[in-house]
Structure 1
Amino acid sequence: MQSPRSRNIDRKPKARRWIDGNTESSALLLGAIRTLEAGYGGDFSGFVDFAPAEYRFNGEESGGYVLLRARKSGSVRAQVQIEADEWTELELKDSGDLRALVELITEHRLTDFDFATERSQAEFDEAVKAALDDPQSERKERLKYADPQAKKVWRKVAVYTRNPDVVAEVLHWANGNCEECGKTAPFLRSSNGTPYLEVHHRQQLSDGGDDTIENAVALCPNCHRKQHFG
């Protein structure tokens, strides 16, 4: 009998233990889940109680499926249902492969979402990079007049367009160290050589939190995951 699915990882002890015990190997799986959940998660999407962890997406519009199975190596096996009896399999090894998965889903109209969120994230990352390249004095000047309330863009879900100056300033003050555990960033970005930290809002924007320096903190991936799943 198939194990019922749940978006709440705490209800799947085998999957939870594997994710907690394999933080590096589970990183790509969790990233893929976050990307697809915004645009593809149906009412029955969720974790199955397997180890390594597995997540199954049910398309609300098509009834189709995307299955994500983590591998001990850190890669993810993705199976996409193109037709009732036709499946395509992809091996995800990095974010580039994840983009290929998104394009496949969109190409075959498995969902009515256009995954604009992911494209917006890429544009936002570029804006943060540009803000980091600016003198700190310029960022501070822009922050004086910035609206603390993030703009909300309605697609099929609410997507918040964050202020890149807030992210840049928080990363600047963190100086490459996680503000939760105090450890040095786990690696440098291949794109620009800067320490990889993730900016987390203490009070989530979706809960009415302000997009400000005071409401944000720079975290390593492990501590960031702990904030959301711990």
Structure 2
Amino acid sequence: MHSKNNIHIFFPVTCLILFILISVLSWREQLELIDSLIIDGLARWISPAIVMLMEGITKIGSGETILILTFLLSLYLLFKKLWKEIIFLYVLTLGGILLNFLLKVGFQRQRPGEMSSIEVFGNSLEITSYSFPSGHTMRSVLLFSFLIYLSLVYLNKLTIKTAIIFSLITMIFLVAISRIIIGAHFPSDIFAAITISITWFYLCLSGIRLTLLKELRFL
């Protein structure tokens, strides 16, 4: 029991430290060489067909797609009367979107390609969309991590649980790598997004667990 709790503490703390490290190095522009090496390495085997495929995959992490999936998922949770999970979902995803926006505005890192504005359902908000950390990656990690959490808690059959979790992790990887391949982000933007997303997920999860413990004490 203690070892399991230690893992739940060690993992997010490690991710937070990595995020801080990446952020500091990015702020000092000391990750340009590593970013370039990764981008050049990927470019050696990327074909136009792969780029087209990644342009489609990257839309999975768009704000519009994540909002729609979050809404549909919340309806399912509402139908199942899983109230705590609904709160968890919205704090996790909407809080993650706000966190991503604040980090982007705070760092104001230029994108590898042309700068663009934030768009919602095709409408430009006339707000500059900065590069660090990747919004698509953060949104994907948070939503799919929540689905992984649901799978671990509510699915009993090991084969189905394993298949779903593997598929969700694969989707996270594909969305993340697609942002680099289509030239929307630097690799360090992706690593930063993954580490801060995991940290935020565990922070929200801890908040839900503490709430449940307080309620049990009053029963």
Structure with more contact order per residue of length (Cα contacts < 8 Å, sep ≥ 6): 2
* Larger helix share, 1 or 2: 2
TM-score by length of 1: 0.28
- Structure ranking higher in strand proportion: 1
TM-score w.r.t. length of structure 2: 0.29
